[in-house]
Structure 1
Amino acid sequence: MFTNIRKFSAVVVTSGAALALLSACGGTDSASMGGHDMSTMSSSAPAATAASAQPSATFNDADVMFAQMMIPHHQQAVEMAELADTRASDKEIKDLAAKIKAAQDPEIQTMQGWLTAWGKPMPSGGTDHGMGHDMLGMMSEEDMKKLADAKGAAFDKQFAQLMIAHHNGAIEMARTEQSQGSNPEAKDLAKTIEAAQQAEVEQMRKILKRL
């Protein structure tokens, strides 16, 4: 299940290069992705589900890439959160994991709805991270295996450390969408993701101090 994201990451890199070239040639409809500011990503705010599954017709390449990259990013966060149900020993970690899953599942469906409405392809299945995990804040296959093998206090600490990095990735991508996207619903969701996940990062840092 961890293999397909390598192909997707390659598509993202190629797409980013194409966008940069188009911008240099004076393209007007595509948002430049800069130096791939989308360096890391994730979300967990219930309020984000208010974002419409049928967004306005106005969108650009930054909006499309935001959805295509955030979907697998969210899917991995949900996988990580599901592990906590049977492995975590700290109640706050369990509660936070449940909150993350409850928020990100609906957001995945919302973004999939956007891509369908825009006539754009879904990201390939799977949540393997390969060459893109450093850029996106995604966990490597080895990281995920170690997390799955951990239990109790060891799991709690590892979960918080890995999810902080994962959230920081989502926050960076959300900021890029807010500055480069044009679809109002997508930009609203990105704003919600940034605020919610920044708060959760602070919460997890406090948890780590007491573990």
Structure 2
Amino acid sequence: MTPSHAIRRAALGVATASAVVLLAACGGTTHTGAHGAPAPSATTRAHNPQDVSFAQGMIPHHQQAVDMARLASDHEASAEVKALAARIEKAQDPEIRTMTGWLKSWGEEPPMAGMDHSRHGGMAGMSGMMSADDMTALKKSTGADFDRKFLTLMVVHHQGAVEMAKTEQAKGRDSRATKTADDVIAAQSAEIKQMKGLLAEK
């Protein structure tokens, strides 16, 4: 074998080895599970019955808070209460839509819009819901009376939501649902503190 032939053969061997390494590297991005089937994506989220219960309970719970918040604009509420009500509506209305989407993606039935959930305050997962009488009294009040009723009722309502969120933290599985529970606890605990402060001033 001439030196030139040896050089060409060595070069060919290096190129072949490089190609094998490159193909192996490219193929390394494909993960297979049992029997050669593609493994589940890392972004796949599992959910459990607690996640479903959390969403199905929190949707009407949030909806009632939004309904209460919307009363502030035309019941002569103070500027502080109006600002708080606007913040509650801005935060909870989108969460209703998000949780409704989760339930549909899980093949579960979202709570019916407009359903009267006020009678279910004692049901598991519905802690802090206002009664029909509470809501009627709030609708009939104005000015400082509205402020006091709104703040008093909303503190109880928020406390119920925090309890529900803590149960989700402890027992839920879906990462989106548990993250929402974290957000509910942080935001509503801060608002409870604020509302208790406003009540002390009235």
TM-score bracket relative to the smaller structure: 0.7 to 0.9
- Quote the residue 2:75 is aligned against: 87
Shift of 1:94: 0.4
Match of 1:109 among 85, 97, 101: 97
C-alpha separation between the residues in 2 aligned to 1:146 and 1:56? Answer: 46
Secondary structure of the corresponding residue to residue 186 of structure 1:
helix
Whether 1:152 aligns to 2:143 is yes
Q: Structure 1: any 5+ residue segments left out of the alignment?
A: 1-54
Over the matched positions of the two proteins, sequence identity in percent amounts to 48
- Quote the residue 1:207 is aligned against: 198
Question: Does the 8 A contact of 2:46 with 2:173 survive in 1?
Answer: yes
How many residue pairs end up in the alignment?
A: 156
Determine which structure has greater relative contact order: mean sequence separation of CA pairs < 8 Å that are 6+ residues apart, divided by chain length.
1
Match of 1:62 among 41, 44, 50: 50
Shift of 1:56: 4.2
Shift of 1:133: 1.3
Q: Match of 1:145, as an amino acid?
A: T
Question: Does the 8 A contact of 1:147 with 1:158 survive in 2?
Answer: yes
C-alpha separation between the residues in 1 aligned to 2:44 and 2:101? Answer: 12
Whether 1:197 aligns to 2:185 is no
Whether 1:96 aligns to 2:87 is no
Match of 2:160 among 138, 146, 169: 169
- Quote the residue 2:117 is aligned against: 128
Q: Structure 2: any 5+ residue segments left out of the alignment?
A: 1-42
- TM-score, structure 1 normalization: 0.72
- Quote the residue 2:172 is aligned against: 181
Question: Does the 8 A contact of 2:45 with 2:175 survive in 1?
Answer: no
- TM-score, structure 2 normalization: 0.75
C-alpha separation between the residues in 2 aligned to 1:207 and 1:133? Answer: 25
Shift of 1:129: 1.4
Question: Does the 8 A contact of 1:115 with 1:122 survive in 2?
Answer: yes
4+ long deviations beyond 4 Å: none
C-alpha separation between the residues in 2 aligned to 1:148 and 1:157? Answer: 13
Shift of 1:189: 0.3
Larger Rg: 2
Secondary structure of the corresponding residue to residue 166 of structure 1:
helix
Q: Match of 2:170, as an amino acid?
A: S
Q: Match of 1:190, as an amino acid?
A: A
Question: Does the 8 A contact of 1:59 with 1:182 survive in 2?
Answer: yes
- Quote the residue 2:40 is aligned against: none
Question: Does the 8 A contact of 1:56 with 1:185 survive in 2?
Answer: no
C-alpha separation between the residues in 2 aligned to 1:76 and 1:112? Answer: 15
RMSD after superposition: 1.2
Q: Match of 2:53, as an amino acid?
A: M
C-alpha separation between the residues in 2 aligned to 1:63 and 1:88? Answer: 39
